[in-house]
Structure 1
Amino acid sequence: METPAFVARVEAATKTYGTGAGRVNALDGVSLGIEAGRFTAIMGPSGSGKSTLMHVMAGLDTVTSGRVFLGDTEITSLGDAELTVLRRRRIGFVFQSFNLVPTLDVRANIRLPFEIDGRKPTVEQQDWIDRLVDSLGLAGRLTHRPHELSGGQQQRVAIARALATRPDLIFADEPTGNLDSRTGREVLTILREAAAGYGQSIAMVTHDPVAASFADTTVFLADGRIAAQRDRASAEDISAFMLGMEAHA
């Protein structure tokens, strides 16, 4: 059996906040790889360490001990300037709150990662953006600003922006948290198709079993440790597993 290729990984990652009696281990010796070209959900109750894990893997926070890699690049001890460039060029983000720039129209929001990096899309990259715009149903909205869009449309713009530079990995932080259930399912389907159809690597932090059921793999965290890792499962199975975890906590 082939060893899976990891687009990001942590080795014995520990993240500690506070000292003495107030000390909290947000991550407690976590070793985990995010497989390339797959949609991975990171699940757990509030305080389980899932957001801390995402922040550490994305280079938004540092580990107290252990090692962090993006592809073959160890980012554990990179400085802020190096991490900023690395995130800009190799990582995409989709947030619960969309994080679109309100003064920019849809076209400019999608092209923002290129503008921040001081470059224009190549012809090939613009073709890719045009494909994204068409497939996400945004062609008729390119001159609209965020306040003129529904929540679902805003999240589609955020996904297009994250995919525009074809990053090594997209982190999605509760991407359906501000959406109704039907629109949320549409957004999750888009993320699943980005992995299945385009080979995009996606890591999604969520507490929602329905959202996790769209992923290829679900990683369960509890008290800063990995409790289990499962291949695609139904929302009912995921929910039952979570309830079992909480009962044994």
Structure 2
Amino acid sequence: MTTTPAPVARVHRVHKSYGDAANHVNALDDVSLDIRSGEFTAIMGPSGSGKSTLMHVMAGLDSVTSGQVVLANTDITDIGDDALTELRRRQIGFIFQAFNLVPTLDVRSNILLPFELDGHAPTEMEAAWVEQLIATLGLSERTSHRPHQLSGGQQQRVAIARALGSRPHLIFADEPTGNLDSRTGREVLALLAAAVREYGQSIVMVTHDPVAASYADRIVFLADGRIVDERGRSTPEQISGYMLAMEKVA
């Protein structure tokens, strides 16, 4: 008898609202979702649908108004800041549009920062993986540069290498190819897919790009703060068609 592995992240009946009575916004409205281990999940929806809010609450970067959030088998709904920070550092990788690189560190030091924060040097296997990431992302000639010496696309590549370098079990990615040209974007998406397929990592990616979403194993669609549909692996054309239909309904 096979058993289904526990989800690496879960939200259950989550509500998230902003504003006061006069300006009340329901960003998430009774959302329940399991993120399965070893799976590449894309979250899509029209602007204002709640997709970024959903990722932020799942990652513990924002609190919920009500409901439950479980991350890496830990209920983080009311967890303390110190415990949440340590959990994120050890279990989670982040790829966000803001990059969040340390300006005083060079590229290699930024990529190795998760190891430094966790108090250990990379193993031989981890070091080899980091070098593969640096080469694949076209950063070999930039390892001694600091963030201000890089283009936006190059900074995004550094952020991606840093997120993948320590092989965290779960990675949250917010429009990870938004600042990349189409060729580099495809290479990055293939790398993310390989991290899932070959190393068992789990990825949650918020994107508006049907091409990016086509690399995912599973696509979750949001509208008006609610999950309205879920699809398996789909072509960019199929995803575009569904998104267009959602926009018309909205």
TM-score by structure 1 length? 0.91
CA contact (8 A) 2:100 2:159 kept: yes
1:206 matches 2:203: no
Gaps of 5+ in 1: none
SS in 1 for 2:53: helix
Kindly indicate whether residue 56 of structure 2 is the aligned counterpart of residue 48 of structure 1: no
Tell me: CA distance 1:240–1:37, structure 2 relative to 1, closer, same or farther (3 Å): same
In the other structure, the counterpart of 2:147 is 146
Q: Distance in 1 between matches of 2:168 and 2:208?
A: 25
Task: Give the drift of 1:171.
Answer: 0.5
1:185 lines up with 2:186 in the alignment: yes
Counterparts of residues 1-249 of structure 1 (less than 5 Å): 3=4, 5-249=6-250
User: 2-side partners of 1:2 and 1:220: how far apart?
Assistant: 27
CA distance in 1, matches of 2:116, 2:5: 34
State the distance in 1 between where 2:110 and 2:182 align.
Answer: 25
- The percent of aligned pairs where both chains have the same amino acid is 68
Contact 2:28 2:226 in 1 (8 A): yes
Structure 1 counterpart SS, 2:69: strand
Q: How far 1:178 moved relative to its partner? A: 1.4
Give structure 2 stretches of 5+ with no counterpart.
none
Tell me by how many angstroms 1:86 deviates.
1.0
TM-aligned CA deviation for residue 98 of structure 1? 2.8
Report the Cα distance in structure 2 between the residues aligned to 1:156 and 1:34, rounded to whole angstroms. 25
Q: How many residues align?
A: 249
* Contact 2:213 2:219 (C-alpha < 8 Å) held by counterparts: yes
Residue pair 1:92, 1:169 contacting (<8 A) in 2 also: yes
SS at match of 1:21: coil
What is the alpha-carbon distance in structure 2 between the residues aligned to residue 180 and residue 132 of structure 1?
Answer: 18
SS in 2 for 1:114: helix
Residues of 2 paired with 1:131 and 1:211: CA distance? 22
- Farther-moved stretch of structure 1 (146-155 vs 113-122): 146-155
Q: Are 1:155 and 1:187, in contact at CA under 8 Å, matched by a contact in 2?
A: no
Q: Give the aligned residue type for 1:130.
A: E
Residue pair 2:12, 2:33 contacting (<8 A) in 1 also = yes
Cα RMSD (Å) of the superposition?
2.0
Residue by residue over 1:13-46, the C-alpha shift from the partner in whole angstroms, topping out at 9 and shown as x without a partner, is 1111123231111111100011111111000111
